[in-house]
Amino acid sequence: MYGVEEEFVVTPWEVRGRVDYDKLLKHFGAKPLTSGEVALLEKYAGEVHPLIRRGFFYAHRDFDFILKWHGEGRPWALYTGRGPSGPVHIGHMVPWILLKWFSDKFNLEVYFQMTDDEKFYDDPEMKLEEATNWAYENALDVIALGFTPDKLHLIIDTKDIEPLYPIAVRVAKKLTWSTVKATFGFTDSTNIGLIFYPSLQIAVAFLPTELRREATPVLIPCAIDQDPYFRLARDIADTLGYPKPTTLYSKFIMALTGESKMSASNPDSAIYTLDDEKAVKRKIMNAYTGGRPTAEEQRKYGGNPDICPVFHYHMLFDPDDSSVEKIRQDCRSGALLCGECKLKLHEKIAKFLKEHRDRREKARGKVDQYRLSQKIR
């Protein structure tokens, strides 16, 4: 299991405690993103996305390799996914925003896996139809980012298994029980669906190479908790004749309640894309902050943006560096009180959500146009 000492636990299914991101990297064996790699990205993209510049995406495996590969004019693709266990919150959208940016900047196709099977295996209460239904609903949030069907290829595991299955079978043959047990912390009482499932998440990393019949590595932007899958994928890629997938890892989105990660069990810890305006305002105004107990103390000593979810969301959703920097400084100096800072945030989030919901509704009924299996028939 990926319990890094006692103070926190990170696995693909659980994040608990206050995460020490540097320790986690060392434990997983991924590398911190350096200024050299960021400069290389800038060279090819012409700019660097704020989510990378501000260190929210902070680690990787072979990110430099895929940029150089790109520099040689060779083909690559993007891959990420979502476990459709319920509605999408704005934290889920953050890596997808970066995904869209990469797709636009480098003119890349995106393979997006909806793992209804995984969520069904993982949650004793979940019905399969329910998870599949969430896959379709969540797909609307992905499409709403502005993807066209020629760029976004959706794979809903229980619906679109065909192109994936032969690859998953080859992957499964290379993975022993002892390896997946040690990697994911499975036990004798884990159902065998969950035990096979990693082969499917790994298979998508090799799919573009199969479809194009030429080496087409993927870049996978995702949260750091998904690293165990891609570490295994990289271990077996060579023997299967596929290029190793490369990854770019983010930290977790802070919960509005101040914990390291938002949790589905507490709806007030996150803002969902379909929350109504009142709920959005209430959640933001009630959020935990890095502020002082009284306005007077805040004016005198200032607040702490580093532990504050309200500041964290400003950092994630405001593209303007100087505006974010001003909030940071005014918080620290005590010039900005939490109430006012929350109102500023509410303005940004409400605008984002309004535009998002319009585009989301426009995508309704179009999901099948994006499904890979409908296109390669």
What gap in Å lies between CA 274 and CA 284, rounded to an integer? 15
What gap in Å lies between CA 116 and CA 135, rounded to an integer? 6
Which of these segments, 111-119, 179-187, 314-322, 346-354, binds ligand TRP (CB under 6 A)? 111-119
DSSP string, 303-360: --GGG-HHHHHHHHH---HHHHHHHHHHHHHT-S-HHHHHHHHHHHHHHHHHHHHHHH
Considering only 49, 61, 70, 82, the residue that binds ligand TRP (CB under 6 A) is: 82
Is residue 201 involved in binding ligand TRP (CB under 6 A)? yes
What gap in Å lies between CA 337 and CA 183, rounded to an integer? 45
Q: How far is the CB of 312 from ligand TRP (least distance, A)?
A: 20
Q: Closer to ligand TRP at the Cβ: 81 or 243?
A: 81
Q: Closer to ligand TRP at the Cβ: 4 or 207?
A: 207
Q: Closer to ligand TRP at the Cβ: 269 or 298?
A: 269
Q: Are 224 and 24 in contact (CB under 8 A)?
A: yes
What binding mask, one character per residue, do residues 319-338 give for ligand TRP by CB under 6 A, x or -?
Answer: --------------------
Q: Are 246 and 219 in contact (CB under 8 A)?
A: yes
Q: How far is the CB of 55 from ligand TRP (least distance, A)?
A: 20
- Supply the angle between the helices 192-212 and 165-174 in degrees, to the nearest 10: 120
Q: How far is the CB of 23 from ligand TRP (least distance, A)?
A: 22
Residues in contact with 150: Cβ distance below 8 Å, sequence separation at least 6, in sequence order: 109
Compute CA distances 273 → 301, 335, 336, 360, whole Å. Answer: 36, 32, 28, 9
* Residue listed under structure tokens 């803002």: 271
What gap in Å lies between CA 108 and CA 246, rounded to an integer? 15
Considering only 19, 58, 78, 83, the residue that binds ligand TRP (CB under 6 A) is: 83
Q: How far is the CB of 325 from ligand TRP (least distance, A)?
A: 31
Contacts (CB under 6 A) with ligand TRP, residues 224-243: 226
Q: Name the residue among 204, 248, 183, 245 with its Cα closest to residue 222.
A: 248
Q: Closer to ligand TRP at the Cβ: 172 or 350?
A: 172
Contacts (CB under 6 A) with ligand TRP, residues 41-80: 79-80
Q: Closer to ligand TRP at the Cβ: 87 or 304?
A: 87
Considering only 103, 113, 138, 269, the residue that binds ligand TRP (CB under 6 A) is: 113
Tokens of 208: 């573009």
Size of the site for ligand TRP (CB under 6 A): 13
* Residue listed under structure tokens 């290379």: 174
Q: Name the residue among 117, 115, 113 with its Cα closest to residue 154.
A: 113
Is residue 81 involved in binding ligand TRP (CB under 6 A)? yes
Q: How far is the CB of 226 from ligand TRP (least distance, A)?
A: 4
Which of these segments, 81-89, 96-104, 135-143, 280-288, binds ligand TRP (CB under 6 A)? 81-89
What gap in Å lies between CA 377 and CA 374, rounded to an integer? 6
Residue 258 zone, left/alpha/beta (φ > 0; ψ -120 to 50; rest): left
Q: Closer to ligand TRP at the Cβ: 12 or 303?
A: 12
Is residue 183 involved in binding ligand TRP (CB under 6 A)? no
Q: Following CA atoms 252, 253, 259, 262 in sequence, which dihedral angle do they give, to the nearest 10 degrees?
A: -100
What binding mask, one character per residue, do residues 116-155 give for ligand TRP by CB under 6 A, x or -?
Answer: --x-------------------------------------
Q: Closer to ligand TRP at the Cβ: 136 or 311?
A: 136
Tokens of 262: 């938002």
Tokens of 234: 């990289």
Q: Closer to ligand TRP at the Cβ: 21 or 112?
A: 112
Contacts (CB under 6 A) with ligand TRP, residues 207-226: 220, 222, 226
* Residue listed under structure tokens 């959208």: 93
Q: Which stretches of the chain bind ligand TRP, using CB under 6 A?
A: 12, 79-83, 113, 115, 118, 201, 220, 222, 226
